Amino acid sequence: MDEKLLTILHQVKERQDELIDLLETLIRFKTPAPPARNTEDAQKFVTEFLQEKGFCIDKWDVYPGDPNVVGLLKGTDPEQHKSLIINGHMDVAEVSEDEEWETDPFTPIIRDGKVIGRGAADMKGGLAGALFAIQLLHEAGIKLPGDLTFQSVIGEEVGEAGTLECCKRGYTADFAVVVDTSDLHIQGQGGVITGWITVKSKKTYHDATRRNMIHAGGKLHAASTIEKMAKIIQGLQELERHWAVMKSYPGYPPGTNTINPAVIEGGRHAAFIADECRLWITVHFYPDETYEQVSKEIEEHILAVAKGDPWLRENPPTFEWGGTSMIEDRGEIFPSLEVDSVHPAVHTLMNSHECILNEKAIVDVSPTVTDGGWFSDAGIPAAIYGPGDLQNAHAVNEQVSIEQLVSYTQVLLKFIYQWCHTQK
Ligand SMILES: [Zn+2]
C-alpha cells in the first residue's frame, strides 16, 4: 500500500478522539424531522468544514430553514480519473415526548465504547466518518486526481427529496456512496412509493336515500364510496398476495413486497351517504422493480376490479402517486437500488473493507430504504455503506460503536483514495 495512505490510516485510530468530537458536534445540532426546517446551523458547520478543506460550496434552501449543501473538491486530473459522490442526510428521526432516554438525546454521552445520542447510527456517524476521512486526506496534503463531491442533504426521514434535488441540479459522478446505516454491509435496497386512491360520487345524497340505492325497486343508481372502497381494499389484498407468490428477490423474505392500506378518510357527516373516500397506501417493491412499474400494476388491477362493479365501472377510482414530502404533500418516493457486485467501485469498496477489517465484505440488501435509490433513478451506480445498525436507527438511546466507526472511517478513507486514483 502507498506509504502516505498507510500513515493516515493509522492516524484515524490515533486521532479517534477528534472523530468522536466531530460526531458529538453533529449530534448536538438538533435536526429532528419532523418537525424539520432546523438544519441551517448544522449545514453551515458542514459548509465551513468543507471550505477549509478546499471544497467549492453550493448551498441552497430546499425548504426555508433546510438547505442542501454540496461541496466539490476538483481533482487534479479529472478527465482521466474516476469521480465519487459521498451522500448523507443531516436530519434525524423525531424524538417523541414519551421516549425514555437516559439523557438528553441531543447531548451525546460515551459509555462502554459507544457514542449515544439521536443520529449516532442514523446517520451522523456515517457523516462524521466521511468528513473525518476528508480532513485527514487534506491535512496529509494528498491531492486526489478524480473529483470528490460531498452532499449533505435534508429531509430524508420525512421522504423529502434532498438527494433528488442534488441529482436534478446536475450533480453526477462515476459512483456514489450513501453513508447511511448499514452495519458495514454494502447494500442495495427495495423501493417505496405511497399513493392515494380516491373513489368519488358525482352527486351527494342524503342519508334517507340509502333504501333507494341498495334495495329492489329503488331505481337510484348510486353508492356509498366507503363501501366501494372496501371492494378496492380487497382487490389490493389479492394483488399483494399474487405478488408475494410470484415475485422474489435474493436476501428478502418472500412477501416483503407489501401493499399497506395505511390511512383511510371518507364521508362528510352521518346525515349523508359518503360521497368521497380516499385511501393512502404504502407500497414496498423489490430492487429490480421501479416505482413507475408497480404503480402501473396497481392501477391496472384496481381498474379491472372496478370494471366488475356496476357503479365503479361508471365512477372509476383515481390515483395519485408519490410526493416530495410526508409533511408538505403527504407522499413520498424512495426508488430502489440494485448494487452491481461486479462494478469496479463496488470491487474497490469490498477490497478496502476486507483489507481494513480482515473479513469478507458482505454485499446484500437493506431491509429499509435510504436516499440511495435516487442515484439509481438518475443513472448513477451507487451503494449504501455506513456504520451503525438498524436496531439503533430511530431507537431510544440510539448508539454507534466507536470501534466500528473507526474501522468505517478507515475503509472509506482508503476507498476515496483508491477510487479517485483509478483511471477512467
Ligand atoms: Zn438514514
Low-confidence ranges of the chain (pLDDT < 70): 1
pTM equals 0.94
What are 279-318's pLDDT values in tens digits?
Answer: 999 999 999 999 999 999 999 999 999 999 999 999 999 9
The environment of the single-atom ion ligand 1, i.e. residues with CB closer than 5 A, is 122-123, 180
Phi first, then psi, for residue 79 (nearest 5°) are -65, -35
Question: What is d(CA 388, CA 20) in angstroms, rounded to the nearest whole number?
Answer: 14
Between CA 120 and CA 130, with CA 125 as vertex, the angle to 5 degrees is 165
Q: Residue 55 C-alpha to ligand 1 middle, in angstroms? A: 24
Distance CA 68, CA 98 (A): 31
Q: Give residue 50 CA to ligand 1 midpoint distance, Å.
A: 21
Q: How far apart are CA 151 and CA 156, in angstroms?
A: 13
Confirm if 75 and 173 have CB atoms less than 8 A apart.
Answer: no
Domains in the chain, please, with CATH?
3-189+337-419 (3.40.630.10), 191-321 (3.30.70.360)
Annotated catalytic residues are 91, 156
Supply the Cα-derived Rg of the chain in whole angstroms. 25
- What pLDDT score does 392 carry? 87
219, burial (CB in 10 Å: exposed 0-12, middle 13-18, buried 19+) = exposed
- CA separation for the pair 97, 43 (Å, rounded): 26
DSSP 220-277: -----HHHHHHHHHHHHHHHHHHHHHH---TTS-TT-S-EEEEEEEE-S-TTB---EE
Interval between CA 35 and ligand 1 midpoint (Å): 16
- Examine residue 123 and say whether the peptide bond preceding it is cis (omega within 30 degrees of 0): yes
- The owner of cell 440488501 is 365
With contact defined as beta carbons under 8 Å apart, do 100 and 175 qualify? no
- Residue 98 pLDDT: 86
pLDDT at residue 161, as a whole number = 86
The DSSP output letter for 158 is: G
Alpha-carbon distance values, 169 to 60, 68, 374, 376, 378 (Å): 11, 11, 13, 16, 11
For residue 69, the model assigns a pLDDT of: 98
pLDDT computed for residue 1 by the predictor:
67
pLDDT tens, 139-165? Answer: 999 999 999 999 999 999 999 989 999
Alpha-carbon distances, residue 44 vs 47, 133, 362, 371 (angstroms)? 5, 19, 35, 21
Q: Which helix (H) or strand (E) holds 118?
A: none
Output the CA 312–ligand 1 centroid distance in Å.
41
89 C-alpha to ligand 1 centroid (Å): 7
CA of 269 to the centre of ligand 1 (A): 41
* DSSP-derived secondary structure letter, 337: B
How far apart are the CA of 358 and the centre of ligand 1, in A? 27
